[in-house]
Structure 1
Amino acid sequence: MISKPNIFNFATSELSQDAILVWLLIWAESTYKETDNALHQIGQSLLQALLNTKKIKLSTIDSMVIKQQFYKIDIFIELHLKGKKIGIIIEDKVATSSHSNQLEVYLNRIKKLNYDTIVPIYLKTGFQSDFTHEIENGYHPFTLLDLLKVLDCNERSSITNNIFIDYYLYLNNLHVQYQKDKAEYEDYKDTLISKWGWWSWVGFFNDNKERFSAGTGVVPNPRENLLAFYFGGENLEVIYNSNKYKFEPYIDILFSNGNYKISYRLGVKNHPDEDKTIRDYIIDLFAPTLNSYNIDYTKPRFKKGKETIRLLEVKHSSSVKYHNDLIMFLDNIQKALKLFVSKNKVSL
């Protein structure tokens, strides 16, 4: 049997998901019980699942207003139950994660509106390994598994509505990818680095950020986002042509499109006009230390940067096959940087 095209395979944006979630929630109103009781029950179940995060029992709905992009919030629900005014914030993410202080801003805006209870929800249908940021900002994670649990109920079998059926099938296909991403994240230690994907690197970075006092993040890129891990920051001062220069060398790993690069970089915010000549001078100073640590490297094409520039690319070592090998390798290149900085303090 040939499966029919599913609209949600094409309507994959967060705005599309906002629309279907609003559509499902509207069915919770008693007005629609006679129209389609099964969809009404699912709408009620979804609303109850959201309220459960604040241990609120769904009773008869006195009134409900659902708004999209209210104060830039993806979905906002004003719900009146037994004389209580409840505000439900839903920040809806598909593949991306929350950024900057947007969650805090949304919650603070709603706090000014005098609701009896606020229910902040962070709804994520793609795999996400860590919800610390969202929880610290007062939001309850609501995952793909939570959503499927609501939709995969006794009433589902009697629903003939094509919108619901297509969305349910789409989420089940999404669940297959979710499980793959989760397995990739959890199993990276037993996988060759050459086989690592995005979530393998996320797993490695998360497990080792404390060891290296590292920062991690996603760097937006027109072609494909970059996954970054940066650590080992030092303060370096060099004298060149009788002038003193201050730089902040550090190490980073960038992963994208199936490839990773390890580099030494220079923070140049004190000298944004720094040119290739002094970059090459620093490389010449660094070279003996790198050689003593048996670190192979290449000198990349010079490219100016306002904040940082790439100093050197560290060549991959054939001995680095699994995660423990990589940890030892990173330890080694960090030791080389520390020694280089300490040796060059004499030129201050």
Structure 2
Amino acid sequence: MDNNLSNMKNNLFYWATGELSQDAFICWLMSYATKDSKEDAVIKACAQEFLWMFVKKSSSEDKSNIGPSDIVVDKIERQVTVNEEDEEKKQKKRGAIDVLLTVSTPKDKYKIIIEDKTYTSEHDDQLQFYKKAITDEFQEYTVLGVYYKTGFQSDYEAVKEAGYCRIGRAEIVECLKKYEDKTINVIFNDYYEYLKDLHKKAEQFESLPLQEWDWQQILGFFSFVQPQIDQGSLRKYGFKDNFDYVHNQAGGFYGMWLDNKCNYFYSEGDEQIKYEIYLMMQFINQKLEICLKLGIKEMPEKGKLTPSNIRDRLVYDEKWKYKLDKYSYQKPARLGYGKNITIGIFTSQFTLSTESENYKQAMADLEGAMQGFAKMTEAICIGEKCAE
């Protein structure tokens, strides 16, 4: 199975994978929606449908009497520098908008901020900063924010809070698909084929044995799991989730964190440790592990209490000594000493084999791990429980 896009080696976007290259494609496509664009009815229609998608998802105004063909791009700008005085820090804030479109319809005029991301994510308050700056400068326009995301990302809360609509890879591929067989434009077809291939590989977690997954299937699986935890069949367990790449001395791995929004306080004398118990689903050496983790959140800088004290109480305390297996967790071969310690590994209910292990088994194991976690934390948590 080809997981390196090698079949796309003659495709421009296989080599030009960065955000600046994607910026250029967005601007190139949008240029066909200008009044003086080249005559290409297919590319123009696609550009206008993209714009229509931006406007519809970003604006709550009535658009019943207009459609994609009514949208015109008046101006396209790249890397637009934005400055603002930060009164609190007594200094200027500075940033650059990836793409800024000036767009008009028979009913309104828009400034559309496009924040283009492949595998990075938003940082600081850049989205709100850009939107405020453009709104202040162009008060006669309706300012819209678009978060154009073709890679993977776990948390979009900051995007939502900033009032940006998210346009993801699936939507982009679906829109381009309507036009790919109607044009022989190499730039258009290269971009479509590249994104379609990336999207296809992300979805192959459904068909490939788990042992054959690479980063695309792993992140595709995490992206599939997330809505099940947030609002689907796994919502009842009350976990919040996040996924990312974890760097370590062994080379790193992809992991998904699952916690139930609860902290615990454990005290001895006048010393206190604040800790949490959570799950981590991790892919290491082509193998999935669901780990029961102890995380230290606050502890005295100097004192007798250490992470090992909590670890030993949770693993060796006489009240439930060696009872992790009661909740379908086995103790790891070695217990660590840091602030994030694996104290149990979920025992899979399946016989692992290259031929049979797949995402459905992984989902069943994840639910089993959540069930065991809920029972264990209800029965044996050490300390005073405190909701986050």
Residues 116 and 336 of structure 1: CA distance in aligned 2, closer, same or farther (over 3 Å): same
Residues 341 and 140 of structure 1: CA distance in aligned 2, closer, same or farther (over 3 Å): closer
2:140 pairs with 1:140 = no
Q: CA deviation at 1:132?
A: 7.8
Aligned match of 1:9: 14
Aligned match of 2:91: none
Contact 2:329 2:344 in 1 (8 A): no
- Say which of 168, 171, 180 aligns to 2:189: 168
Q: CA deviation at 1:81?
A: 6.0
Q: CA deviation at 1:75?
A: 0.8
Contact 1:226 1:254 in 2 (8 A): yes
Comparing 230-239 with 10-19, greater Cα deviation is found at 230-239
AA aligned opposite 2:27: V
Structure 1 gaps, min length 5: 160-164
Comparing 245-254 with 10-19, greater Cα deviation is found at 245-254
1:150 and 1:133 mapped to 2: Cα distance? 31
2:317 pairs with 1:312 = no
AA aligned opposite 2:266: E
- Say which of 91, 112, 120 aligns to 2:145: 120
Aligned residue pairs: how many?
323
- Say which of 108, 114, 125 aligns to 2:132: 108
Contact 2:112 2:144 in 1 (8 A): yes
Q: CA deviation at 1:90?
A: 1.2
Q: Deviations over 1:94-138 (max 9, x none)?
A: 345556654344333322221422232232334779978756643
Q: CA deviation at 1:17?
A: 0.6
Residues 127 and 144 of structure 1: CA distance in aligned 2, closer, same or farther (over 3 Å): farther
Pairwise CA RMSD: 4.0
SS at match of 2:291: strand
Aligned match of 2:225: 204
Aligned match of 1:177: 198
Structure 2 gaps, min length 5: 1-6, 57-62, 83-95, 352-360
Contact 1:76 1:87 in 2 (8 A): yes
Contact 2:79 2:99 in 1 (8 A): yes
Aligned match of 2:368: 328
Residues 271 and 252 of structure 1: CA distance in aligned 2, closer, same or farther (over 3 Å): farther
* Equivalent runs, 1:1-348 vs 2, <5 Å: 5-33=10-38, 37-38=39-40, 42-43=43-44, 45-47=46-48, 49-51=50-52, 53-54=55-56, 55=63, 63-71=74-82, 72-79=96-103, 85-96=109-120, 98=122, 101-113=125-137, 114-126=139-151, 134=159, 137-142=162-167, 143-149=171-177, 151-152=179-180, 154=182, 156-157=183-184, 159=185, 165-182=186-203, 184=205, 197-198=217-218, 199-209=220-230, 210-222=235-247, 223-231=252-260, 233-239=262-268, 242-257=269-284, 258=286, 259-271=288-300, 275=306, 277-282=308-313, 283-285=315-317, 287-290=321-324, 293=327, 295-298=329-332, 300=334, 302-305=336-339, 309-319=340-350, 321=361, 323-341=363-381
Residues 149 and 6 of structure 1: CA distance in aligned 2, closer, same or farther (over 3 Å): closer
Residues 167 and 150 of structure 1: CA distance in aligned 2, closer, same or farther (over 3 Å): same
Residues 5 and 215 of structure 1: CA distance in aligned 2, closer, same or farther (over 3 Å): same
TM-score normalised by length of structure 1: 0.73
Q: CA deviation at 1:87?
A: 0.3
Q: CA deviation at 1:303?
A: 4.7
Residues 227 and 213 of structure 1: CA distance in aligned 2, closer, same or farther (over 3 Å): same
Q: CA deviation at 1:251?
A: 1.5
Q: Deviations over 1:228-283 (max 9, x none)?
A: 222363414243xx454333231221324543341221333133565465255333
1:4 and 1:314 mapped to 2: Cα distance? 41
1:110 and 1:93 mapped to 2: Cα distance? 20
Residues 30 and 299 of structure 1: CA distance in aligned 2, closer, same or farther (over 3 Å): same
